[in-house]
Amino acid sequence: MQGEYVFFCAYLARDNDQAAVDANAAMLQNFINALRQTGAIKDLKRFILVNGLKQYGVHWGRAKQPMHETDPWIEGTAWPPMFYYTQQRILSDAAKQSKEENWTWAVTYPQDVIGVAKANFMNLATALGLYASISAALPAQELVFPGSLINYVAFNCWTSARLHAAFCIWAALEPKAANQGFNVTNGDTESWQNLWPSIAERYGAKIPVAMFPGADFSGGKKDQQYKDCESVHIVLPTSPPIIEHATKMGLQGLFEGEDRHSVVHQQIDTTKWAQRPEVVKKWEELRDKFGLDQSTWDNATWGFLTFLLGREFDCVVSMSKARKLGWTGYVDTKDAFFETLKELEEQGILPKASELNK
């Protein structure tokens, strides 16, 4: 018997949005064509496609909060094309094409995935663990939040990789989940203002009592104490997705215009921080002490960390749709971070926090 369930998680990054659409659409379509040509599709029951929170345009800026699966797709001349939408149309159309086939589909939208990965350019936990480890091992033993003040106090949702895997199985087997898209997050709403002190404690580091010198809630552009690390300030090039909802919410005109575009701000540019002589030297000491692979440092995803810690808007996701259909999975986000960091340490990817200064 051929496989009855397909879990499609492949992704090809490209330099521009249209190229990403072309590559990822072709990859999915070719895979479905191959299932048909080999006859494997006759045994298929459900096809699970993994997308993400770009579904709501969060990479373009502020979205409506919280985000629901019923929210309109962010399309039109104001935004570049989004390959998620093309893939979902391909999948939906393919499921309707042949009367001889009897399969359904589901799409998942995880958010800021927390999991063990190596040399993955969208890897949050490893880059965060490297930054925390080095900071805690430097003489000052201070763990400064490198992102923006606004991000630090904003609210966000995360997705445990293990929980997402369990959700994909649920979505494959649950009859009521057929032909739908689903948000997938841990089930809590968290904030760095709560998580960061716990991370600092785990690494035996201190948090400065005034961690955002010169910053305020209007944009946090006045960095002074950490100017040697050169801040990053990026104005996103497109209108924020919230304008799709603004009129209905009574907020028309508040988010339109280039001066209203969303911002990503890091008070410490982690890419430049990672090139500082004292930081490189400390990494080499920890690498040799713990027998770590140099590729972990060479492939650290500082640019991805910049966006996740610097975006100046909330990212809160509703899990109500899946809950109403019977999904009960839940993971505490702090536990997910800590469990992942521990596993990265056990696999020799990160230095062990408990032994940094021994």
**pTM for this predicted structure:** 0.93
Which positions ≥6 away from 211 have C-beta within 8 Å? 144, 145, 152
Residue 220 has pLDDT above 50, yes or no: no
Three-class SS of residue 158? coil
pLDDT-based confidence at 171, cuts 50/70/90?
Answer: very high
Average pLDDT over residues 270-285: 96
pLDDT of residue 227: 53
Residue 117 has pLDDT above 60, yes or no: yes
pLDDT of residue 98: 75
Average pLDDT over residues 188-204: 98
Domains of the chain and CATH, by start = 5-355 (3.40.50.720)
pLDDT of residue 228: 53
Range from 173-182, 207-216, 290-299 carrying the lowest mean pLDDT: 207-216
Cα gap 97→103, rounded to integer Å: 11
**Residue type at 162?**
R
pLDDT of residue 68: 98
Q: 114, 235 in Cβ contact below 8 A?
A: no
Ordered DSSP codes for 124-149: HHHHHHHHHHHHHHSTT-B----S-H
b/e per residue, 200-239, with b = 16+ CB within 10 A? bebbebeeeeebbeebeeeebeebeebeebebbbeebebb
Indicate the helix (H) or strand (E) that contains 48. strand 46-50
Task: Summarize pLDDT for 322-339 with one digit per residue, the tens.
Answer: 999 999 999 999 999 999
Which of 312, 306, 299 minimizes the C-alpha distance to 118? 299
DSSP 315: B
Higher pLDDT, 120 or 207: 207
Which of 157, 203, 204, 205 minimizes the C-alpha distance to 342? 203
pLDDT of residue 219: 53
